[in-house]
Structure 1
């Protein structure tokens, strides 16, 4: 290898993220070198031999032997072909070969008519530890199924788990819904509520589809109204969750909801909650978030695509007094190399009463999405949103389906008046346990081009201003420019904002420092 000190910077923190090992594959992620402007790709080595090339900071090693340890390291490659040596090698093992539990052996029929709930649940119940419940090609209609510890649900390519449209196939249970424990219809794929012990090691894998049939199910659940709407996938109280290669679509509400889960990896999945994969609009669905980690920690979402009717990803932790009492934050979350189409980008809140902290969003693209970031915490929530970083992201939004409103006010949107049609930025209220704090929010290397409304909107409460908001290397143009209310410690470095319709900058009670 040719060595040059300028490029002799190795990728940092190479790791295989939590739960991201199967019996035939291992996922890797790493950080960019500290000086990555000249880096064009990465060489991935397995057992001393180059295995492949990645242009992003993740790579999945496939076609491996089961129950075998592998050594891996990664080198960065500069624009002029110089490869920097890597001194970092990690060892990871694949899982043992999984015993297969084919749902058709338990009576499941792929005729698009038979309700296969009992047969699929029988396969899950029979699945030995480390086993794989296998859904072959074909469309299998089912009601709610409940996963257990130490198993994989594997949906084969051209296989579909299709949700029944009958609410009676989804028992009404207590779930967290919009931040509070409430009666809800069960989701299509669930875990049972284990009050005395936690579940562990659940994988959802395969190139097939989990289709919750939300357009039809939504109408029927709302007509019956025994509980709030279910989701496509709702996992609760699980340590070590892996979702890989699967497509999840058409939920009657949020699509993938992870509640009180830790050590999560989401790799190369697709989520469709607004349109199907061919662009046809789902009917009768609203509040259709893509993927919501809720009071969950140690989360890695990478190499995935979410096309959402609402927030693409919304990081939550409970609502108001109940959320503060439970007090479980969402924290230590890394979202990288993902694409977001339509919807409202990556949000923090608004149900965040357990706190949200230490979130990195990096190397993501947003196409006809109204926002890259919505950080939202209105009065009553309490707790803190702290240390959130958006880096190396680009948004292009020429879609006029949405314009500024009380729910979404900017392509970069930090809003403590979220959900209020009218507000007075000077009217203080008493500080109490319900007063939220938003602090230490960073935007670096961001490009925004939107016709939807404000390019950047920042609004803190007069009694609890936004604290330490940093914009660095940000280029933005919107219908309107940048608006800032009640911000302490507002730093802009190499920032250019333009407006198509109005003045570019408006500051109100904002302490601005330009560098």
Structure 2
């Protein structure tokens, strides 16, 4: 019998609360021969899932209690396969003390008509270890920037909405802030690959310590609930840009972009944080990016809706020189990249030299935007990226690996499987090119696409390596494996373009044409097409 076992069956520790926990796993190569999985708790079947769902959140648990959970694979005929059982154990947290901020002693205005930053921050500062700050259902809390602390929960069942006044996202008294800020009350942050001073985000976790960017400064934080966070949108973003549009006053921001665009805060930002869980919420209209993770470790984001359509630079989920990241069961409709994986820009990214690695992305429903981007700010390196069971439709780029020629750095060990996407590209880009050049060209290597359906138009796969016209040096994309690729092109012809590539393996690439499948490319190795452009028409 084929081995249907799942692997890495685990409860993510960051997701464990006093009443719930989330279990995840990786399916075997033969998962397509299964109908799904059964999950058992205390001997009772609590869930039956299809084979493309590799996560489950167990709810209504007792606080401070130990549990064992088991998973079985189920055949196409609906039979449980006994020998596939895998188990794991976990213990829930102690009961969390919940503080309703609309009640005494804080009595925050629940109508959203009164700015409540000071009272909300006071409640956070007063929160006991392991406690929960609660914005209750139907309450609307209007706030500027707030700073969370270690070992706390922010539960939003109502609505947290951002002030439209950029001054509410500055420090006017930074005496209690351990991080660095400038004379204008802006905090040290990172944007588009540069460390610089920015307006604070609506929700802030941690800070940047330039003397030790690997140090953990905030940990064990959960932002959860059934409500929404509304970030002020373009109105707040444009207001934040105005003061920093003066390039003579702020020469450190001078670039080919107006400096003000880089001074905007985000909706939620973690900096040098560890063990953060973001779950359950609808996140709407940030002033630019939605969730930004800088120099952070072990961040889990799941069961979210991220909506930023029409927002300038309205990215959804941006890990930046961070590691051990999980994103799943999330819906995107954004004004830019839905996901953008980063690690700094030349020359700073090379000097800081903190890669983004171990990123696990699965079960996404992407309805619009630019798609999933890996790069272009990747000077510190990006590696070990795993993307599966995602539906990416109506996007400009599908899944795109990208770098600017002058950026240096690398992207390697990228695995994409069991996805429906618009297109796949790995190539140079020309924009966002300010800063001194790196000494080497970017390196892209070890890229695997398996069982992927592509439904875009025209050029559905594009692989273009890097070249420097001045030095005549090239850096081919190397080690690309395309296996079981199914093209459902909307036009008469679909195109695969290979330029400056080496060791490209094509196996079973098929196209649906006139309602029937044909396989024009099957089991070919293109060992070296470096310096030779190659186009394949399906």
With the length of structure 2 as denominator, give the TM-score of the two structures: 0.83
Q: CA deviation at 1:11?
A: 1.6
Distance 1:350 1:432, change over 3 A: closer
Give the counterpart of 1:51 among 43, 46, 51: 46
Equivalent residue number for residue 456 of structure 1: 461
- In the TM superposition, what are the counterparts of 1:108-127 in structure 2 within 5 Å? 108-127=108-127
C-alpha distance in structure 2 between counterparts of 1:87 and 1:478, whole Å: 43
Q: Secondary structure of 1:112's match? A: strand
C-alpha distance in structure 1 between counterparts of 2:535 and 2:264, whole Å: 44
C-alpha distance in structure 2 between counterparts of 1:174 and 1:446, whole Å: 41
Identify the range of structure 1 (8-17 vs 240-249) with the bigger mean alpha-carbon deviation: 8-17
Contact kept in structure 1, 2:19 and 2:63, CA below 8 Å: yes
Contact kept in structure 2, 1:386 and 1:440, CA below 8 Å: yes
Equivalent residue number for residue 419 of structure 1: 431
Contact kept in structure 1, 2:42 and 2:67, CA below 8 Å: yes
- Pair 1:97-2:95 in alignment: yes
- Pair 1:259-2:294 in alignment: yes
Equivalent residue number for residue 197 of structure 2: 183
Q: CA deviation at 1:94?
A: 1.1
Distance 1:420 1:298, change over 3 A: closer
Q: How many residues align?
A: 470
Give the counterpart of 2:243 among 200, 214, 224: 224
Q: CA deviation at 1:469?
A: 1.1
Q: Secondary structure of 2:455's match? A: strand
Q: CA deviation at 1:34?
A: 2.8
Q: CA deviation at 1:498?
A: 8.0
Equivalent residue number for residue 394 of structure 1: 420
Equivalent residue number for residue 381 of structure 1: 407
Q: CA deviation at 1:9?
A: 2.8
C-alpha distance in structure 2 between counterparts of 1:63 and 1:144, whole Å: 33
Distance 1:445 1:362, change over 3 A: same
Q: CA deviation at 1:510?
A: 5.7
Q: Which runs of 4+ in 1 moved over 4 A?
A: 497-500, 504-508, 510-513
Q: CA deviation at 1:70?
A: 0.7
Contact kept in structure 1, 2:347 and 2:438, CA below 8 Å: no
> Structure 2 stretches of 5 or more lacking a match?
171-185, 210-214, 246-259, 468-473, 515-519
Contact kept in structure 2, 1:162 and 1:211, CA below 8 Å: yes
C-alpha distance in structure 1 between counterparts of 2:115 and 2:513, whole Å: 55
Equivalent residue number for residue 165 of structure 1: 164
- Pair 1:74-2:71 in alignment: yes
Q: Secondary structure of 1:337's match? A: strand
RMSD over aligned CA atoms reads 2.4
C-alpha distance in structure 2 between counterparts of 1:33 and 1:83, whole Å: 16
Identify the range of structure 1 (357-366 vs 45-54) with the bigger mean alpha-carbon deviation: 45-54
Equivalent residue number for residue 34 of structure 1: 29
C-alpha distance in structure 2 between counterparts of 1:420 and 1:72, whole Å: 48
Deviations 1:209-255 (A, max 9, x none): 01102132122212333751111111111110101111111011111
Contact kept in structure 2, 1:490 and 1:510, CA below 8 Å: no
Equivalent residue number for residue 532 of structure 2: 509
Distance 1:486 1:395, change over 3 A: same
Q: Secondary structure of 1:37's match? A: helix
Q: Secondary structure of 1:509's match? A: coil
Contact kept in structure 1, 2:399 and 2:421, CA below 8 Å: no
Contact kept in structure 2, 1:417 and 1:461, CA below 8 Å: no
Q: CA deviation at 1:372?
A: 2.6
Deviations 1:418-461 (A, max 9, x none): 4399xxxxxxxxx963421000111111111124x521111101
Q: CA deviation at 1:496?
A: 3.0
With the length of structure 1 as denominator, give the TM-score of the two structures: 0.87
Give the counterpart of 1:441 among 430, 447, 450: 447
Q: Secondary structure of 1:187's match? A: coil
Q: CA deviation at 1:478?
A: 5.6
C-alpha distance in structure 1 between counterparts of 2:432 and 2:303, whole Å: 37
Contact kept in structure 2, 1:489 and 1:511, CA below 8 Å: no
Distance 1:166 1:233, change over 3 A: same
- Pair 1:470-2:496 in alignment: no
C-alpha distance in structure 1 between counterparts of 2:264 and 2:480, whole Å: 37
C-alpha distance in structure 2 between counterparts of 1:446 and 1:418, whole Å: 28
Equivalent residue number for residue 321 of structure 2: 295
Deviations 1:369-426 (A, max 9, x none): 2233110012221121000011000135xxxxxxxxxxxxxx21111244399xxxxx
